Amino acid sequence: MKKLIAVLMMSLILALGATIPASAAGRSTHLYQGQQMKQDAKQIQVKLRPVGSSGISGIAHLTQRKNQDGTHIVVVAFGLKPGDQYISLYYDNHVCQLEPYSLDDVIGGIYTANNGGVGATEGNADDNLDEINSVSVRHAGDFKLLACANVHP
């Protein structure tokens, strides 16, 4: 739980445009087309952008796991309806278009927005970082696409 809180705080700081000196972060990073990425490309952080007039935004943080053993994904979404349930998926395409998918494409499972309209989930994907092209936030009830992040523009 402490690790998730630390990741959420770091994501919020980066989402607000703050910068962390490389010496403080312990690694060198640079901005690439609006996304935070380590120079060795083992981590990517991208903004979730609202789809239509959903008003949903957030951050997706993807980390390549050791030995090419998949990707760890953390999703933090803002502007959700408190108490509603959401689901996040990852995709091969760049626009969060539904594909024939399996439960393995779900990141962590269904999550509920808190009273502040924030929801978070995390999980491990079988695909490696270079194979994941987008991440979404969808309403769990009807699968309506609310936000999408293009991981590799």
Please give the helix or strand (H or E) that residue 31 lies within, else none: strand 29-32
Q: Which of 3, 83, 80 lies closest to 48 in space, CA to CA?
A: 80
As for how many domains the chain has, the answer is 1
CATH value at residue 18? 2.60.40
Calculate what percentage of the chain has a pLDDT beyond 90.
67
Each residue's pLDDT tens digit, 84-121: 999 999 999 999 999 886 788 999 999 999 999 999 99
Rg of the Cα atoms in the chain: 15
**What residues have CB less than 8 Å from 148, skipping those under 6 apart?**
48, 49, 51, 95, 96, 134, 135, 136, 137
Contacting residues for 94 by C-beta, under 8 A, at least 6 apart: 133, 134, 150, 151, 152, 153
Model confidence, pTM: 0.75
Host domain of residue 40: 2-150
